[in-house]
Structure 1
Amino acid sequence: MTSAALWGSVAASSLLLGAILGILRQWPAKLIGTVLAFGGGALIASVSFELAEEGLATSGPVPLATGLAAGALTYYAANRAVEHLGQRQADPKAPHLQGRRRQQGGTSLAVGAFLDGIPEQAVLGIGLAAGQGVSAALLVAIFVSNLPEAIGSASDMRESGASRASVLRIWLGVTFICALATIGGYALADVVSTSVQGAVNGFAAGALLVMLVDSLVPEAREKGGESAGLVTALGFALAAGLALLS
């Protein structure tokens, strides 16, 4: 349990680090896009070599497929709800609404980090409980992909007029809950069947796949430019290598 708390805190700490960086200064879009692309490649490798492969080996295809569908649908529905919240605006050209729109955009990013962070970190805890040790590939993927989400969200919130203290409180809460999910995954592995464990792996994989296609990859391409694909391949290669070595 202590190990789960430690590694969960390490993985989630990039959320708080990103928020701190976001309120300290404005970062170039190119840099954020590059980090997003690298994290996206690492997440693709983690879905392939960690979540799907481990879920299949643990429980077989049916629980994995069930969890995959549940994770994909859950993230899709939650993401749509966040988008609808952000669209509840009057004339977007009205100057006095710009700050409010930025704040809602920042809040949407925070909710997104929360939604995909919980299943990711729960899988870390499950792996530790199963005696597999910490997954270096998944740890790197979570840490790197969290940074630009938190930086972008905190920057938007700060530009909207939110105080630094309120922004940090939000991200401290998200960080704490995500870290707690690792302990939850560890405890869950001790009391549930291998079928449920495989379904949790599938849930995380499904949620991440939808998040990658709907949010992370398009934003990485938009901000990172033409080199985003090459950086994504680099992130995939590094994470895949770590997965094979671990």
Structure 2
Amino acid sequence: MLSALVWGVIAASSLTAGALLALLRDWRAGLVGGVLSFGAGALISSVAFELAQHGLKLGGPRPVAIGLALGALAFFVADRAVSKIGGRSEGGSGGLPLALGALLDGIPEQAVLGIGLATGKGVSVALLVAIFISNLPEAIGSASDMRKSGKPSKDVMSLWALVTFVCALATLGGYAIAQAVGSHVKAGIDGFAAGALLVMLVDSMIPEAKKKAGNVAGLVTVLGFAVAAGLSNLN
């Protein structure tokens, strides 16, 4: 269980790192979009080669399909709730909604790390890289907006440190749940995370990457997919 927490902190630490980078300097939208595109491709690969594949091996197609539908619906509803209070808009109300948006994206990603550890797979290098990279542009963009709105640097860092901590705890939660349930439920959890991530990618991450990176977004996304797919074969 301690290892799940440690790996969760490592994966989520890029949220704090991204906020710090945003406070140190201004970042071009194209660069942020490029990193976002690479992270999107890496996450797509993780959904295909880590979550869906592992879930099918554990419990077959039915629990994975049910998990996919439930995860997609849960993220859709939660994301709309966050959007209504400004969590997907520029600036937000004092920065808290922006942090809620990052938290909503991070929880299913991080929980899967813990599930992998609990099922004896060990740490997925591909998923770890995908989470770490995809966190950076979201934290940079959001923390930059907070800084421009006049929020003190100390408050920005405190807020993102809290988001990092909660996301790390999600890894621990994923580990604990996977330890307590059977293979069919674990397969459903894999499907749930995959469904949530797919909705996040299509509704939020990929459109933002295209907006910021322009025409190169597709190429960089494929590069991220290829790198993560290669890393999946190392596990």
Whether the 8 Å CA contact 2:55–2:191 is kept in 1: the answer is yes
Whether the 8 Å CA contact 1:116–1:204 is kept in 2: the answer is no
Output the CA distance in 2 between the equivalents of 1:187 and 1:78.
Answer: 23
Corresponding residue of 1:21: 21
In the alignment, structure 1 residue 4 sits paired with structure 2 residue 4: yes
Corresponding residue of 1:151: 140
Report the residue type matching 1:137 in the other structure: A
Structure 2 counterpart SS, 1:133: coil
Structure 1 counterpart SS, 2:150: coil
Corresponding residue of 1:195: 184
Corresponding residue of 2:170: 181
Whether the 8 Å CA contact 2:86–2:98 is kept in 1: the answer is no
Corresponding residue of 2:51: 51
Corresponding residue of 1:42: 42
Corresponding residue of 1:70: 70
Higher mean C-alpha displacement, 108-117 vs 156-165: 108-117
Output the CA distance in 1 between the equivalents of 2:174 and 2:198.
Answer: 20
Report the residue type matching 2:29 in the other structure: A
Output the CA distance in 1 between the equivalents of 2:28 and 2:95.
Answer: 17
Corresponding residue of 2:119: 130
Report the residue type matching 1:169 in the other structure: S
Q: Compute the TM-score of the two structures, normalised by the length of structure 1.
A: 0.91
How big is the alpha-carbon RMSD for the aligned residues of Structure 1 and Structure 2? 1.7
Report the residue type matching 1:76 in the other structure: F
Output the CA distance in 1 between the equivalents of 2:169 and 2:132.
Answer: 15
Whether the 8 Å CA contact 1:8–1:121 is kept in 2: the answer is yes
Report the residue type matching 1:176 in the other structure: F
Identity of aligned residues (%): 63
Q: 2:218 aligns with which of 220, 229, 235?
A: 229
Output the CA distance in 2 between the equivalents of 1:52 and 1:105.
Answer: 38
Structure 2 counterpart SS, 1:132: coil
Q: 1:115 aligns with which of 101, 104, 117?
A: 104
Corresponding residue of 1:245: 234
Whether the 8 Å CA contact 1:103–1:160 is kept in 2: the answer is no
Larger radius of gyration: 1
Output the CA distance in 2 between the equivalents of 1:130 and 1:101.
Answer: 40
**5+ residue gaps in structure 1?**
88-99
Q: Compute the TM-score of the two structures, normalised by the length of structure 2.
A: 0.95
Higher mean C-alpha displacement, 127-136 vs 38-47: 127-136
**5+ residue gaps in structure 2?**
none
